[in-house]
Structure 1
């Protein structure tokens, strides 16, 4: 009888997917937005991406070499961090600034806390917030066709606060990407192509992205303007689509419970809407995701399913 039973340690459910394969899929999914950003903004945008990825990979290798830890650069997580950070930067930014951000993301946010899987917030977004605070002018200066200009969200917020009926934005241009902004956030269609790839490969679920985007839409409709164009401009503008599909879905810093993911998406949407409408900046995606990352343990604590057969709390 003893031969009929085999006792083994968890996990008992296994998958052929590896960290490397997942990270490679995420990197591939960002290629349409990357290609459009380089096409839109030129060679310097490509140099920003290459330099930032290089800084992240070298930082990870150097830190692990010095601390005598296993070298993990082959898992592509540092590459993904570098790509996300670079795509969140203006195209004309001096190369040393995103490279500094890459070092901060890998060493301070990721490796010091134990490496991949141990970081309590998204390293790329933490680095972007660090750069926004440290180099506000450089990180908020955007150009299009060689001309420095305001982003559609800034234009729209100014018009909305002034009570003007004309928002001053072109929805089709925002959808295609012919607008000023960071390298990777401008083209909604390119981002959606990448998002569709991630969903097709089952790398991400739509639970967080759709809840996040829907909450932003409802929030700006109620507290902003009861105007479909206004709502659509907020959805297409800034880093909402990029953040919803590529950053809020990060395995390490988002809830694992289905109910928790819904709560997480709602929290993201409320914070983003609050920052955009009532904050000093027209954007708010990065700060919303970072703050929500910090609340993930609390969200999971109250949304963890009760084990089958476990008695519930007595009234």
Structure 2
């Protein structure tokens, strides 16, 4: 497969597999931090997701009467699997990943013709389908093991994911919702719920979950993905235009609302250090196939995502909105590229 235009300036032998491999490797700081705070579930979901993605990719290529190695070598299925695995709650049942990757690999990617032909980000299509179809499973985040004594062992985590019960024969739903339940809402969800219940922003920020957000589990996870994203920029695996315009537009619109309409929306610290902001800015929005390919277009693309993230988080039904914002921006890519493509000399 010809190298994508997004990668033409890089010095990795013009190898798409190498570039995809570096994208996966640079998620490791965030993955390790996420596993440290939320337990073994993230690691187990990662390995399960990888196996399912490679299986589905092979199955579809055989159905299309093409050699599976051609698709497997580009590592794009691996990246899709990893992004979906870190985006879902650690104790999600095994079939969540399986259904999600059917939409990501089979429908969004291969039915459109394979890598380079898909209009939408495969991992984000899968995430949105799962979020809308299975809201209970997709919102059952467990409390950080550093904030709770209810840590779950590797064996129990494995059994809960694949068999729906632990070594004490307690079902997953009872563990998550029982008297000693360990489920928790994300900071974005907590903030939106508290704001809608009539509390002021100052009152919300005094709650324990928000007092030291930068050192909280969600804050450190976002900072870890930021570190991995900066490494991608350093290695020139991605361009700076999309992440910088994404984060800048989110910061500007958040600052304007904080200045002119205080008490109505979350402050910038909540937007930057919770949810999937940094993962979205550096690893999801920069997808070379579904993102804009021109310099001006990438700036518009990133800005659009940042604005949409703020709008959906502030007034939408879902607390986090990176997936929805990226998919809306994907729809606009043909129009963005048409009006931002450089003029040929003499025209």
TM-score by length of 1: 0.87
Where do 5+ consecutive residues of structure 1 fail to align? Answer: 1-10, 180-184, 311-315
Give the number of aligned pairs: 294
- Indicate how the Cα distance of structure 1 residues 171 and 25 shifts in structure 2: closer, same or farther if over 3 A, else same: farther
Q: How does 1:212-227 map to 2 (within 5 A)?
A: 212-223=246-257, 226=262
What does residue 188 of structure 2 align with?
Answer: 153
2:46, 2:81 within 8 Å by CA — same for their partners in 1? yes
- Indicate how the Cα distance of structure 1 residues 291 and 48 shifts in structure 2: closer, same or farther if over 3 A, else same: same
Q: 1:200 aligns with which of 215, 224, 234?
A: 234
Q: How does 1:127-142 map to 2 (within 5 A)?
A: 127-142=126-141
What does residue 7 of structure 1 align with?
Answer: none
1:58 Cα deviation from its structure 2 partner: 0.6
> Does residue 103 in structure 1 map to residue 102 in structure 2?
yes
What does residue 161 of structure 2 align with?
Answer: none
Query: Structure 1 residues 227-236 or 247-256, which shifts more?
Result: 227-236
CA deviations over 1:97-142 (Å, ceiling 9, x no partner): 1122112210000001000000000001100011011111100111
What does residue 119 of structure 1 align with?
Answer: 118
Where do 5+ consecutive residues of structure 2 fail to align? Answer: 151-181
- RMSD, aligned α-carbons: 2.2
2:223, 2:273 within 8 Å by CA — same for their partners in 1? no
Task: Tell me, in whole angstroms, the C-alpha distance in 1 between the residues paired with 2:266 and 2:344.
Answer: 46
1:163 Cα deviation from its structure 2 partner: 4.2
- Indicate how the Cα distance of structure 1 residues 229 and 138 shifts in structure 2: closer, same or farther if over 3 A, else same: closer
1:268, 1:289 within 8 Å by CA — same for their partners in 2? yes
Task: Tell me, in whole angstroms, the C-alpha distance in 2 between the residues paired with 1:281 and 1:229.
Answer: 14
Task: Tell me, in whole angstroms, the C-alpha distance in 2 between the residues paired with 1:303 and 1:290.
Answer: 19
Task: Tell me, in whole angstroms, the C-alpha distance in 2 between the residues paired with 1:177 and 1:23.
Answer: 30
1:253 Cα deviation from its structure 2 partner: 0.8
SS of the counterpart of 1:90?
coil
- Indicate how the Cα distance of structure 1 residues 36 and 301 shifts in structure 2: closer, same or farther if over 3 A, else same: same
SS of the counterpart of 1:187?
helix
